Amino acid sequence: MKSKLTAKEKHLQDKIVQLQKDNNMLVNKFKECNTENRKLKLDNTRLQEENQQQEEWIERLLQYTELSEKDIKIACEKDKELVSMFRLFNRLGTYEGMMWNKKKQ
């Protein structure tokens, strides 16, 4: 048979149930906040990278304002050559990676 709980035991049991509910609610709230915080950190990182790129472009454009027309053309050609060189390195790195993977197999 079940023994009857005293009023004090019943009150304590009700308090434990309420505390467990409160705890579960706080854990869920924490998870929501944590998820939102991760999203915000990713957004912040992305925005900082965009900001850095834009600052670099602004700096480059400001440098161009100090150049003569001939110097601007030369600087633009150098930039184009750098882009071509980076693309070549990228292709070579991709090719090298493919060859490396074939050797492993």
Residue 1 lies in a domain: no
Give yes or no: residues 45 and 11 share one domain: yes
Q: How many domains does the chain have?
A: 2
* pLDDT, tens digit (0-9, with 9 covering 90-100), for 31-73: 999 999 999 999 999 999 999 999 998 988 888 788 788 888 8
Give yes or no: residues 62 and 73 share one domain: no
What sign results for the dihedral spanned by CA atoms 91, 94, 99, 102? negative
- On the question of pLDDT at 88 being above 80, the answer is yes
Q: What is the pLDDT of residue 21?
A: 98
Q: What is the pLDDT of residue 96?
A: 65
Give yes or no: residues 54 and 76 share one domain: no
Residue 2 lies in a domain: no
Give yes or no: residues 62 and 85 share one domain: no
The boundaries of the domain holding residue 24 are 7-66
| Chain centroid, CA 43 distance in Å | 6
Pair 47, 54: CB distance under 8 Å: no
Q: What is the pLDDT of residue 31?
A: 97
Residue type, 102: K
